[in-house]
Amino acid sequence: MASSERSRLDPAVIKAAYDQHSAELYNFLRGVLHDADQAQDCLQATFVKAMESGHTADEGSLKSWLFRVSFNTAMELRRRQQTGQRVVQRLAQRSDSQSDSPALAAVKSDEMHRVRQALKQLPHEQQTVTRMRMFEQKKFATIAKELNLPLGTVLTRMRSALEKLRRALGDDDERG
């Protein structure tokens, strides 16, 4: 079979794999993530990856390939969430650790201004995802559904936004 003919798995193979393994994969992801919505999102992302690059797996080992991809997808989601949570925690720690003295209030006000300015510098798509996730406390699956976007696109926008904010604001680890 030529490599161009082998660029994708037959959609019937993907459908059969979904029918056969999706419930088991979902239960596995639910155990890893402890969240039904996130498990469903990762399951969906796994089969998208299967459609895009499942040809790298032999049909005989497709089940193990799907489990490996789903686990990696779940870990990637977890890492992205932890990065976002660390940014929020750092901002919260800054405000919690400061008293209300006039000098510290001025510093706090300056920090808030810097954050607002950095948020305004983000592309509109990244601002929207960041606002929905951080200020409205929405799950990535909900954001994707409301914006009618694939979960991967929403996650990528959030990751890119956090990277830009980190560069614009300076990372605490670099400053001490």
User: Both ends of the chain: CA-CA distance in Å?
Assistant: 57
Residue at which a domain ends, from 41, 76, 111: 76
Q: What is the CATH number of the domain that holds 18?
A: 1.10.1740
Instruction: Tell me: pLDDT of 87 over 50.
Output: yes
> Are residues 67 and 129 located together in one domain of the fold?
no
DSSP 160: H
Instruction: Tell me: pLDDT of 173 over 50.
Output: no
Range of the domain at 46: 11-76
Would the pTM of this model clear 0.85, i.e. be above it? no
Share of the chain above pLDDT 90, in %: 23
Contact call for residues 17 and 50 (beta carbons, < 8 A): yes
> Are residues 68 and 112 located together in one domain of the fold?
no
The pLDDT value recorded for residue 69 is 92
Amino acid at 76: E
Residue at which a domain ends, from 76, 106, 129: 76
> 88 pLDDT band (50/70/90 cuts)?
confident
